[in-house]
Structure 1
Amino acid sequence: MVAGSFSIEIESPVEAKRLWNAVLDTHNLLPKQAPGLISSITLVQGDGGVGTIRHVNFTAANKDFSSVKEKVDLIDEANMVYCFSHVEGGLLGKKVASISYKVKFIPKVGGGSITTYTCDFDSLPGVPHDEAKIEEIKADTTGLFKQVEEYLIANPTLYC
């Protein structure tokens, strides 16, 4: 088993609080804003808070898997930190033994924000490190973020 991690940092003109509020509503927002990738997100257990399990269904655009169940592990409102992990589906059991994410929104002086997105994973025994796949995931994550960012810019009163 190989432990791995990667991070991306995205600067945005959108205020950190708006992005934070949007991430808390991803189960409603993403199927509407990224219908080419996400067909639905259903809350299986919970109300969106810590311990919530959500089932994310992807479209055929996601070549690696059709769905994943995620668990909300941490919601730190004061520091705008949101953590979740995969509990079923996705690459679990195929390439990784575990995978978790941490998203943090940092206000910038003068407006806008910086979002840090960190992924920690343990690959399954015998699965080689795939830097090209990590770069693809980083690009896809940034692309999805930019879609949400554009939507928030176009709708300046949303998630205020």
Structure 2
Amino acid sequence: MEVVTKIPPTKMFKAFVIDGDSLIPKIVPQAIKNVEVVEGDGGPGRSQFDYVKHKIKTASSPDGGSICRSISKYYTVGDFEIKEEQIKAGKDKASGMFKAIEAYLLANPDAN
């Protein structure tokens, strides 16, 4: 996924990645309910994902803003397959969070 924003790369990366755990619930409270680390032996109640890796890169754009690239890799349990509509829904939600953070930073230039 790629999102172009008017926010400089350092500020956008800090807001989305470094301060994301406190900033995102404040800006888009419906996006994240809670974060919980679950450990177990794979027995009943285990989700369909073994783990998920996210990689986010920000680069300068010609207008002084930034280009944010996000790659998510999902490692599933067994033969579970992720459907294309689930991938699109995830991209749409992530893009919405980027845009919400951009709007917040534009409205609050001294924030972050």
Q: State whether TM-score is above 0.5.
A: yes
List structure 1 runs of 4+ shifted beyond 2 angstroms: 36-39
Partner amino acid, structure 2, of 1:99: V
Match of 1:38 among 20, 28, 32: 32
Map of 1:21 onto structure 2: 14
- List alignment gaps of at least 5 residues for structure 2: 40-45
Please state which structure has a larger fraction of its residues in helix: 2
Larger RCO: Structure 1 or Structure 2 (Cα < 8 Å, ≥ 6 residues apart)? 2
Any unmatched runs of 5+ in structure 1? 1-7, 40-56, 58-66, 70-87
Name the aligned partner's letter for residue 99 of structure 2: K
Q: Deviations over 1:97-156 (max 9, x none)?
A: 221101111111331100000001222212123111011000011111111110001111
State percent identity of aligned pairs.
Answer: 27
Which structure is higher in strand share?
1
Q: Report SS of the residue matched to 1:20.
A: helix
- Provide the alpha-carbon RMSD of the alignment: 2.0
**For 1:1-160, what aligned pairs fall within 5 Å after superposition?**
8-22=1-15, 23-39=17-33, 57=34, 67-69=35-37, 88=38, 93-159=46-112
AA paired with 1:30? I
Aligned length, in residue pairs: 106
